[in-house]
Structure 1
């Protein structure tokens, strides 16, 4: 993960694959990871599994938003039917969010603090539950692991 030099995170309000739209601004008060991906991207698929494991560890202590870039809804829905995750999947159908966030390649992830200020970015796949990454997250945003029973299924993406 690298420092992210911007002082504010760009706006992000997108339709959700299986529910109402989500606005990043509504998540103020807890750390957020914004992850841009596509289902055709092999490293993205591996990283989604790692992010799901992180979501299980963090419970309600942090939010993860996965943003699918430029794919047809049906393709994304079919993908997650076989690979459900504990966090919302957002749809950047026209790639406007990807451009606003200046994403140059997939996967790309952004870490935001409780005030939604940029903390770090990862422009390559990460193992989100590796000890070094967990330690870095704790140092950056104070996101602590909690029992998985603290998870609610509000964000679970299963069609």
Structure 2
């Protein structure tokens, strides 16, 4: 029998409204270029993680499931922080990850976004505005997280 994953250790907060959104331009492990500024009109889930982070590894299968569901107006991007590209490529192959992984080997992207806890996930609405930041492991295929993602399609209050 497989152990049950609890995902109970997460916190969701409103994004620092006084903070402007840092630019994000990067190339994923498959060579596709991503520019966050080009994704307006779509909701974005931007996840920061590392292979040494147990909670990151716990939630990664649920991010992969969300990616496979292929919601038309949701872009899922993950940023692997402070690990070599060959290491991350091996990890992705061994775990069957096909979701977009943007390497951040020096932690430059994470630093620009103020990320210090892993995993951290930004929920960005269709106007390109970060609404919330979630820290800790989340079941991204569960009803609570799917509700957060649905809310990104609605106008901010």
TM-score (norm 1): 0.82
2-structure distance, mates of 1:28, 1:140: 12
Counterpart residue number, 2:90: 78
Structure 1: unaligned runs, 5 residues or longer: 143-159
SS at match of 2:152: helix
| Shift in alpha-carbon separation, 1:37–1:78, aligned structure 2, 3 A | same
Alignment of 1:54-73 (within 5 A): 54-73=66-85
| Shift in alpha-carbon separation, 1:118–1:101, aligned structure 2, 3 A | same
1-structure distance, mates of 2:38, 2:96: 24
Report deviation, 1:58: 4.3
Higher helix share: 1
1-structure distance, mates of 2:42, 2:59: 22
RMSD: 1.6
Asked if the contact 1:11/1:24 (under 8 Å) is kept, the reply is: yes
Report deviation, 1:138: 1.2
- More displaced, 132-141 or 31-40? 132-141
**Residue 11 of structure 1: which of 19, 23, 30 is its match?**
23
**Residue 44 of structure 1: which of 31, 56, 66 is its match?**
56
Alignment of 1:111-122 (within 5 A): 111-122=123-134
Counterpart residue number, 2:112: 100
Asked if the contact 2:126/2:152 (under 8 Å) is kept, the reply is: no
Alignment of 1:133-152 (within 5 A): 133-142=145-154
TM-score (norm 2): 0.83
Counterpart residue number, 1:26: 38
| Shift in alpha-carbon separation, 1:139–1:59, aligned structure 2, 3 A | closer
